[in-house]
């Protein structure tokens, strides 16, 4: 079974084509600057990376270009688009509507459009990607995999905000959490490594966007992001948790609109805002080693906030079996992992410092053998998780078709 995984942004489209037998990656690529001058396509086929420029007006054109590449008579990996058995789409926000991945129907598209209210920056481009695929591949089944779904198991006392209850009833304002596909993937790998299902795991997805998740017996019981991805940890350019009363204060003192404050909180804050240098940890660590005071402050603030979440979640879980690091920083930055683990020996967590400093972007246990709490680096693979969900849903659809059951919405919350 061949599955195409699609992840669309407002002006970009990422794709991967996977052969599910042996879970092999056949090709992957990225279309950028869709709808503006200088659109480009970067793609990898048979391990070879290529890039070209081409005017790409919209997401439908982008999908067509992807299929031209995949079926190219000389270098393509499939002969015809008919070889694609299903498409899995990453969708950021499914509100309270879906607690698992679903077969995409017209009703699902409508429901996701309703959820655009929750994620005005992310859902509309995700829906554009779905519609573009439906236009180009009307016969091929499609599955939606949601960033919020994994966290739908959080209890109400964890996800509610202490705002008037009517705001929840009217608008479903509450915490949702994101990066769910990544937290689900790495926590499943950690469960396999631990060799026990009943486990207490904290997963740290530390990329340009960052979140922490408390996973008990395989399900998410709390996570650091909120109603939007702005909450929680300090991130590349997002502020994470702040005193909410600062917003009207900023409105007054700087005469800013809500949109301008939103821009500051999401694009000009975090590591970039504090350091004034960069959102990238490589630049910040270089600056720190060259004695830059604000880079040092930004990194210390990041480490401190991360540690507070690890502490909170260890208490909530009632102990800890494994601490997992993933995404750009989690997988590649030994200094951040060291700072997060430093001083946690009282929990029975002993980092293997030598191993930690040598691990970049590969699966590894980086705790000492005697450590009660295992520490893992687990490279995330959201695309594989999306492809696995898609395969499972398509296969169960086929089975239900055979047994005469209705094909409808699966696993709806
Ligand atoms: P992601 O959003 O998961 O792609 O992560 C991107 C971020 O990972 C970058 O902005 C950097 O801060 C960080 N990163 C990537 N590679 C390294 C590295 N070798 N050392 C430290 N940080 C890294």
Instruction: Calculate the alpha carbon distances from 387 to 181, 302, 392 in Å.
Output: 11, 33, 9
List own/partner pairs for 130-134 with CB under 8 A and 24 or more apart. 130/89, 130/91, 130/104, 131/59, 131/60, 132/8, 132/58, 132/59, 132/60, 132/62, 132/63, 133/6, 133/63, 133/87, 133/89, 134/104
| 147 carries an active-site annotation | yes
Ligand 1 neighbours by CB, cut-off 6 Å: 207-208, 236, 279-282, 327-329, 332-333
Is residue 10 one of the residues assigned to a domain?
yes
Dist. CA 16–CA 77, nearest whole Å: 12
Same domain, yes or no: 199 and 271: yes
**In a domain? residue 151:** no
Evaluate whether residue 189 is within a structural domain: no
One domain for residues 133 and 202: no
**% helix, strand, coil for the chain, step of 5:** 40, 20, 40
Could you list the pLDDT tens digit for every one of the 413 residues in the chain?
999 999 998 889 999 999 999 999 999 999 999 998 889 999 998 888 999 999 999 999 999 999 999 999 988 999 999 999 999 999 999 999 999 999 999 999 999 998 888 888 888 989 999 999 999 899 999 999 999 999 999 999 999 999 999 999 999 999 999 999 999 999 999 999 999 989 999 999 999 999 999 999 999 999 999 999 999 999 999 999 999 999 999 999 999 999 999 999 999 999 999 999 999 999 999 999 999 999 999 999 999 999 999 999 999 999 999 999 999 999 999 999 999 999 999 999 999 999 999 999 999 999 999 999 999 999 999 999 999 999 999 999 887 776 654 444 434 33
**Mutation choice for ligand 1 from 183, 235, 328, CB with most ligand atoms inside 8 A:** 328
Other Cβ atoms closer than 10 A to 366:
24
Å from CA of 335 to ligand 1 middle: 12
Report the C-alpha gap between 322 and 203 in whole angstroms.
Answer: 8
The pTM assigned to this predicted structure is 0.93
Among residues 146, 165, 183, the one where a domain terminates is 146
Classify residue 354: in a domain, yes or no.
yes
Considering the domain architecture, whether residues 218 and 82 belong to the same structural domain is answered as no
| Ligand 1 atom 9: residue of nearest CA | 280
Which helix (DSSP H) or strand (DSSP E) does residue 50 occupy?
strand 48-53
CB 29 within 8 A of CB 21: no
265 and 370 part of one domain: yes
- Residue-wise pLDDT tens digits, 73-90: 988 999 999 999 999 999
Determine the distance separating the centroid of ligand 1 and the alpha carbon of 401, expressed in angstroms: 45
Residue 145, burial from CB neighbour count under 10 angstroms (0-12, 13-18, 19+): buried
- Residue with the two structure tokens 């990238």: 280
The alpha carbon of 337 and the centre of ligand 1 are apart by a number of angstroms equal to 13
* Domain presence at residue 62: yes
Residue ending a domain, choose from 111, 146, 181: 146
Shared domain check, 200 and 140:
no
Closest CA to 151 of 223, 230, 94: 223
143: closest CA among 179, 184, 182, 112?
112
pLDDT of 45 reads 86
How many domains would you assign to the chain?
2
What number does the ligand 1 atom closest to the CA of 209 have? 2
Any idea what the CATH number is for the domain that residue 123 is in?
3.30.420.40
Evaluate whether residue 180 is within a structural domain.
no
Pocket test for ligand 1, best of 288, 333, 340 (most atoms within 8 A of CB): 333
Do 227 and 352 lie in one domain? The reply is yes
If asked whether residues 318 and 376 sit together in one domain, one would say yes
Same-domain status, 368 and 219: yes
Full domain range(s) for residue 33 = 2-146
Q: Does 348 lie in the same domain as 214?
A: yes
Domain assignment of residue 170, yes or no? no
Query: CA 354 from chain center: how many Å?
Result: 29
| Token pair listed for 128 | 């554009």
Report the alpha-carbon distance of residue 250 to residue 277 in Å, rounded: 23
Bridge partners for 25 per DSSP = 18
| Domain boundary residue, one of 89, 115, 146 | 146
Pick the residue whose CA is nearest to atom 11 on ligand 1.
280
Query: Domain check: are 232 and 103 in the same one?
Result: no
Q: Are residues 203 and 309 in the same domain?
A: yes
Active-site residue, from 147, 222, 352, 389:
147
Residues 108 and 250 in one domain: no
Residue 398 lies in a domain: no
């Amino acid at each position: 079974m061949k599955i195409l995984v699609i992840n669309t942004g407002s002006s970009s489209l990422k794709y991967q084509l996977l052969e599910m037998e042996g879970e092999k990656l056949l090709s992957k690529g990225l279309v950028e600057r869709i709808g503006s001058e200088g659109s480009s396509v970067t793609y990898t086929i048979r391990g070879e990376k290529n890039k070209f420029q081409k005017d790409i007006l919209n997401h439908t054109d982008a999908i067509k270009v992807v299929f031209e590449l995949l079926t190219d008579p000389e270098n393509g990996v499939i002969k015809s688009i008919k070889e694609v058995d299903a498409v899995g789409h990453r969708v950021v926000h499914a509100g309270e509507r879906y607690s698992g991945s679903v077969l995409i129907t017209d009703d699902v598209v409508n429901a996701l459009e309703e959820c655009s209210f929750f994620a005005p920056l992310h859902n509309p481009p995700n829906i554009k990607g779905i519609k573009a695929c439906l236009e180009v591949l009307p016969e091929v089944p499609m599955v939606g995999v949601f960033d919020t779904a994994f966290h739908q198991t959080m209890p109400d006392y964890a996800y509610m905000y202490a705002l008037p209850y009517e705001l929840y009833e009217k608008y479903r304002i509450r915490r949702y959490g994101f990066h769910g596909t990544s937290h689900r993937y790495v926590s499943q790998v950690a469960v396999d490594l631990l060799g026990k299902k009943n486990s207490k795991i904290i997963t740290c997805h530390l990329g340009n966007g960052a979140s922490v998740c408390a996973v008990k017996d395989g399900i998410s019981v709390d996570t650091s992001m909120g109603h939007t991805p702005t909450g929680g940890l300090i991130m590349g350019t997002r502020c994470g948790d702040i005193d909410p009363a600062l917003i009207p204060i900023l409105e007054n003192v700087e005469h800013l609109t809500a949109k301008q404050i939103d821009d500051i909180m999401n694009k000009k804050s975090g590591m970039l805002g504090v350091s004034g240098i960069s959102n990238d940890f490589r630049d910040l660590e270089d600056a720190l080693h060259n004695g830059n005071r604000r880079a040092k402050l930004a990194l210390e603030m990041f480490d401190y906030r991360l540690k507070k979440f690890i502490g909170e979640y260890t208490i909530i879980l009632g102990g800890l079996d494994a601490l997992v690091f993933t995404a750009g920083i989690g997988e590649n930055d030994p200094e951040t992992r060291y700072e997060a683990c430093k001083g946690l020996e009282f929990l029975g967590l002993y980092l293997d410092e030598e191993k930690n400093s040598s691990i970049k972007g590969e699966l590894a246990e980086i705790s000492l053998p005697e450590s009660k709490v295992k520490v893992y680096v687990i490279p995330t693979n959201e695309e594989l998780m999306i492809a696995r969900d898609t395969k499972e849903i398509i296969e169960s659809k086929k089975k239900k078709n055979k047994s005469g059951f209705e094909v409808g919405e699966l696993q709806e919350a």
